[in-house]
Amino acid sequence: MSANASAVNLEALAAASKGVKELSVQDAGRSCTGVLASHPQSRDVHVASFTLLYYGHDLLVDADLELNFGRRYGLLGPNGCGKSTLLKALAARDVPIPNHIDIYLLDREIEASDMTALEAVMAVDEEKTRMEQEAEALAQMDMTEDVEQRLSDLLEALDSDLVEVRAASILHGLGFTKEMQCKKTREFSGGVPSTLQPVRAVSLTPTPPARRPPRVITCLPSLTPPYLVPPIPPLGQFKRILLMVSHSQDFLNGVCTNIVHMQKKKLVYYTGNYDQYVQTRAELEENQMKRYKWEQEQISNMKEYIARFGHGSAKLARQAQSKEKTLAKMVRGGLTEKVESEKVIRIRFENVGKLPPPVLQFTDVAFGYSPDKVLYSHVDLGVDLDSRVAIVGPNGAGKSTLLKLMVGALEPLDGMVKRHNHLRIGQYHQHLTELLDPDLSPLEYMLKEYGRELGEEKMRSVIGRFGITGQTQTLPIKNLSDGLKSRVVFAWLAHRTPHMLLLDEPTNHLDIETIDSLARAINEWDGGLVLVSHDFRLIGQVCNEIWEVGGGQVRRWQGDIQSYKAHLKSTHAALDSRKDLK
């Protein structure tokens, strides 16, 4: 149970156990109503007539929330539709979820600290506190066989040695050596804290499954994990309930058994991974359109017949009346809706013309955060305005560091980074949204940053190109989803008209449709691009050159991103076979 569950949540859950199953609460702008439809002791969660509001806006209306034990769900939907709000409502128990089902919400990276990677994974404080409290309560009860068994399970799970072994085993499976496990989290690169947080979730095994089946919902809102090839084994084999938001198709394909699509304020369920979802949805929509066209044709023909012969001879009039009744019956029974494609935003960057090369040049560059720990040396590479470069490599190899060298935020230990005198660089990094003023609206923020000379209407058009439209333009930024905040940053970045974009994990909070729009915008633009991303699909769409960072070097990969992906898979398979031999 979540440690921050409010009193009203606890009272509602207590009422639910007595047969009062309807719940309506408000918290942090959220408002939820729903009826618990599954059995109170079930391992599944089924809430009927589920409605979710956020600051008075309908996100879901009379939807059916159904999560079955052992299934791994990918939650999809456009930015701002309410995916993260739904997960937070589940974690806060605004939804009538039985008390025996534990919930773990993952919505941010592990904070950089002096904790080691192993200690950070082990420090799941809320779960540990809950288990300790349960153990204390059981110790005060009569020692029946069931109580004694449960207490034994809890004490075994709380055994620090066993917790450490389990956490170390999972980290080892993800490629964390003993040295890396003992490294402080603040010493890791930006991608590793994103990796450690999901490991926390999958390491929560309070009791051996053979004795008491674990019942945990784990939510991963808006994090694109940096380990797409192969999919993270603990999540790919997760045996409880996993509900996650990810905008990486590779990751969704590798982990999910089901897809849930937030569409028209409902939850639509599909069996299979992302690719199967795309195929199934396309087939269903094709059949729906065929049915819609057939119905519309029938209606048109009947209306035409009624209009022509409704007042003719008695025989024709009777036939017209019959068709009128058939038409009324069709309408009463419900007509097939026309398939409406979700609105796709069209991002656009202003063309900036050309700068003569070399635009950005590395000459025999060496860099390390200390002279005795050099990340790479003898780097001789360049980027021009026709470059489309992807930087790939393991976490901690120095990908983001390379971008910092490009903009001059870091200086090399040796060699030179030369930039064209007129070069304007636009840099996007993973934490740029944190610099937005949360109390300003997107419109106010852009007017503040660029002055009011353009006028409010022009600025509305500028940010509207990035899918920030209507009331969203005037909502406080703190009330926007992470995806919409990212769009604000891209609007701010594009309005600076950079010659070159340096994008560090730009897709973490963008929905798949927006990622595709970003790819189209880059391909239509005449500036240069350097991209650090674990989204191989985006790399394949926009990049024609790959730099691999690792082993103390930065070198051109001789091939495309698919060949690099195949190389990673074969390398992983070889490592697995060596482990098996040992």
- Write out pLDDT tens, residues 350-396: 999 889 888 999 999 999 988 888 999 999 999 999 999 999 988 77
Tokens coding 9: 């949540």
| Class at the top of the CATH hierarchy for domain 360-579 | alpha beta
Distance separating alpha carbons of residues 333 and 325, to the nearest angstrom: 12
Closest C-alpha among 433, 428, 431, 419 to residue 529: 428
Overall average pLDDT of the 541-548 stretch? 95
Whether 262 shows a pLDDT value over 80: the answer reads: yes
Angle, in degrees to the nearest 10, between helices 191-202 and 160-173: 130
Overall average pLDDT of the 203-212 stretch? 42
Mean per-residue pLDDT over the chain, rounded: 80
The better pLDDT of the pair 520, 575 is held by 520
pLDDT band at 226 (very low <50, low <70, confident <90, very high): very low
Distance separating alpha carbons of residues 565 and 372, to the nearest angstrom: 32
Q: DSSP letter string over 184-250?
A: BGGGS-THHHHHHHHHHHHT---S-TTTS---EEEEETT---S--SSPPHHHHT--SEEEE----HH
Whose tokens are 């702008």? That residue is 29
pLDDT band at 223 (very low <50, low <70, confident <90, very high): very low
Query: What does DSSP assign to residue 453?
Result: S
Instruction: Give the rounded distance of the alpha carbon of 30 from its chain centre.
Output: 20
Distance separating alpha carbons of residues 478 and 163, to the nearest angstrom: 37
Q: Are strands 360-370 and 414-419 parallel, antiparallel or unpaired?
A: antiparallel
The better pLDDT of the pair 210, 344 is held by 344
Whether 416 shows a pLDDT value over 90: the answer reads: yes
Per DSSP, the three-state class of 135 is helix
> How long a stretch of residues is the chain?
582
Distance separating alpha carbons of residues 502 and 567, to the nearest angstrom: 25
What is the model's pLDDT at position 153?
73
Whether 80 shows a pLDDT value over 90: the answer reads: no
Share of the chain above pLDDT 90, in %: 38
Yes or no: say if 506 and 390 are a contact pair by the CB < 8 Å rule.
Answer: no
Window from 9-23, 36-50, 318-332 with minimum mean pLDDT: 9-23
Overall average pLDDT of the 317-339 stretch? 89
Tokens coding 235: 């999540």
Overall average pLDDT of the 567-573 stretch? 76
Per DSSP, the three-state class of 476 is coil
Share of the chain above pLDDT 70, in %: 79
Closest C-alpha among 440, 504, 499 to residue 468: 440
pLDDT band at 508 (very low <50, low <70, confident <90, very high): confident
Q: Where does residue 491 rank: exposed (0-12), middle (13-18), buried (19+ CB within 10 A)?
A: buried
pLDDT band at 229 (very low <50, low <70, confident <90, very high): very low
Query: What does DSSP assign to residue 473?
Result: G
CATH number of 22-101+215-225+238-272: 3.40.50.300
What is the model's pLDDT at position 22?
37
119-129 b/e with 16+ CB inside 10 Å = b?
bbbbebebbbe
Whether 510 shows a pLDDT value over 90: the answer reads: no
Yes or no: say if 257 and 240 are a contact pair by the CB < 8 Å rule.
Answer: no
> What's the one-letter identity of residue 479?
N
Q: Any bridge partners for residue 383, and if so which?
A: 360
pLDDT band at 14 (very low <50, low <70, confident <90, very high): very low
Distance separating alpha carbons of residues 399 and 505, to the nearest angstrom: 11
